[in-house]
Amino acid sequence: MRRDSYLFTSESVSEGHPDKVCDRISDAIVDTFLSHDANSRCAVETLATTNRIILAGETRGPASVTGDLLEEVARRAVREIGYEQDGFHWNTAAFENHLHEQSADIAQGVDAGEDKDEGAGDQGIMFGFACDETPDLMPAPIYYAHNILQSLAEARHSGAEPELQPDAKSQITLEYRAGEPVRATSVVVSTQHSEAASSEQVRELVRPHVTNVLPDGWMCPEEEFYVNPTGRFVIGGPDGDAGLTGRKIIVDTYGGAAPHGGGAFSGKDPSKVDRSAAYAGRYLAKNVVAAGLARRCTIQLSYAIGIAKPLSVYIDTHGTGEVDTDKLAGVLRELMDLSPRGIRTHLKLNRPIYARTAAYGHFGRHPDGDGGFSWEKLDLVDDLKNAYNIK
């Protein structure tokens, strides 16, 4: 039985968090390969530590993507985040590139042939989720946690808050009554800052970025508002803590409010169903909720490496469904080909649109004019309503 009254917490991390620096570099490299050849293959991992950036993984793409170009791409990503510190600087950090060619054994399973369609890049399970708690159909705790950090990042990049540095984290606990979020019971924000800023200055600098994001009357009690609880956060980013690609997968998705599959997204081209099928799941779940067929929707997809068709499609509307859920899986499969090729074609994923996904969540974003965040579109709503004769 679902609980109606409870506390739930989600966290977010900024683009300058060590792991997110690595996600950004890995995704910028994916974009580089796709911009040179839309059929490139990438599985790129990044390690960042004190003034050092290391790439590893497998790729298959054109010779025009050289080692020098990849180094330039990695340094540009760090510069755009804003790292020009003694312990981590876009221009002076040591750089190592250990990328190599994609395994021929993997390639033969993924590539289309005369007697087979393009197969999934790996086995695995992927989840999509949507709910009606926020305008973007995302769970409220992760939605507000992201927005707090985005507000701080905008102030830092604009120069409005020069004391702010790139590394930051947020965490918000919301109270739910009758299954609906009603207020924050605690808010935690840790943000890297300049040497000159005092703890109280940072606290008051952060405050409006919280109160302006939360709905009126939702701010937590003053004693539950924690800003830099350790008292000081000058050393940060990869200088303070090593970063790796793919370590913030709950931040990337639903903040723990929904299940997560076995794989991360960043650094992977869209032939990898870890990424593309998770986007498809979100796309379908969001359209289901937007069409009024349910208030909450979880979709699970599963795949086997080298096999085109999904092995299973599971849907759970958590007791909020307004239609026959058993029929829904069939309706969704009619509206969208859920093979790896079908997903990439439907959502137009073979484009350099991934660096922008590396921070502040892959979901709950607004579709861009160039095709970024295409999985957030609501273009199946009318078809879903028509399938159930809903006006």
Which CATH number is 335's domain given? Answer: 3.30.300.10
In this structure, the chain runs to a length of 391
**For position 106, what pLDDT does the model report?**
59
19 is in an annotated binding site: yes
144 and 160 inside one domain = yes
- Whether residue 212 sits in one domain with residue 184: yes
pLDDT for residue 306 = 84
Residues 23 and 106 in one domain: yes
- Is 204 a residue of the active site? no
- Are 125 and 258 in contact by the 8 Å Cβ rule? The answer is no
Return the H-helix or E-strand segment holding 99: strand 94-101
Residue 381 falls inside a structural domain:
yes
Beta bridge partners of 41: 60
Q: Is the same domain home to 368 and 252? A: yes
Residue 119: inside a domain, yes or no? Answer: no
* pLDDT tens readout for residues 275-299: 999 999 999 999 999 999 999 999 9
Closest CA to 207 of 185, 192, 226, 233: 226
Catalytic residue check, 233: yes
DSSP one-letter code for 42: E
Reply yes or no on whether 309 is catalytic.
no
What are the CA-CA distances from residue 24 to residues 79, 246, 270, 311 (Å)? Answer: 11, 10, 16, 31
Residue 300's domain spans which residues? 124-132+248-256+272-387
> Encoding tokens for residue 290?
């937007």
Contact 122, 110 (CB under 8 A): no
pLDDT of amino acid 108 = 54
Q: What is the DSSP letter of 224?
A: G
Q: Is 370 a catalytic residue?
A: no
Is 233 annotated in a binding site? The answer is yes
38 within some domain: yes
Write out the H or E segment, with its range, that includes residue 68: helix 67-81
Is 268 marked as a binding-site residue?
yes
Q: Is 150 part of any known ligand binding site? A: no
> Could you confirm whether 8 is annotated as catalytic?
no
Decide if 242 is inside a domain: no
Question: Domain for residue 357, yes or no?
Answer: yes
Q: Give yes or no: residues 100 and 158 share one domain.
A: no
Look up 20 and say whether it is catalytic: yes
Kindly report, residue by residue over 219-275, the tens digit of the pLDDT: 999 999 999 999 999 999 999 999 999 999 999 999 999 999 989 999 999 999 999
262 found inside a domain: no
* Residue among 41, 146, 209, 247 flagged as catalytic: 247
Residues 67 and 128 in one domain: no
CB contact at 8 A, 189 and 169: yes
Whether residues 345 and 372 share a domain: the answer is: yes
Q: Are residues 277 and 373 in the same domain?
A: yes
Rounded Cα distance between 350 and 270, Å, is 7
Is there a single domain that holds both residue 286 and residue 343? yes
The model's pTM: 0.95
Regions of the chain with pLDDT less than 50: 1, 116
Domain identity same for 252 and 199: no
Residue 94 phi/psi, 5° resolution? -65, 145
The answer to whether 122 is annotated as binding is no
Domain annotation covers residue 263:
no
Number of domains forming the structure of the chain? 3
Determine the Cα–Cα distance for residues 317 and 298; give it in Å rounded to an integer. Answer: 6
Tell me, what's the pLDDT at 385?
96
What is the predicted pLDDT for the residue at 107?
A: 55
Known active-site residue 286: no
- Active-site residue, selected from the candidate residues 15, 19, 122, 133: 19
**Is there a single domain that holds both residue 128 and residue 148?**
no
Q: Which of 248, 296, 344, 346 is catalytic?
A: 248
Q: What share of the chain is helix, strand, coil (3-state, %, to 5)?
A: 35, 25, 40
1 domain-assigned:
no
The question of whether 268 is a catalytic residue gets the answer yes
| Residues 101 and 146 both lie in one domain | no
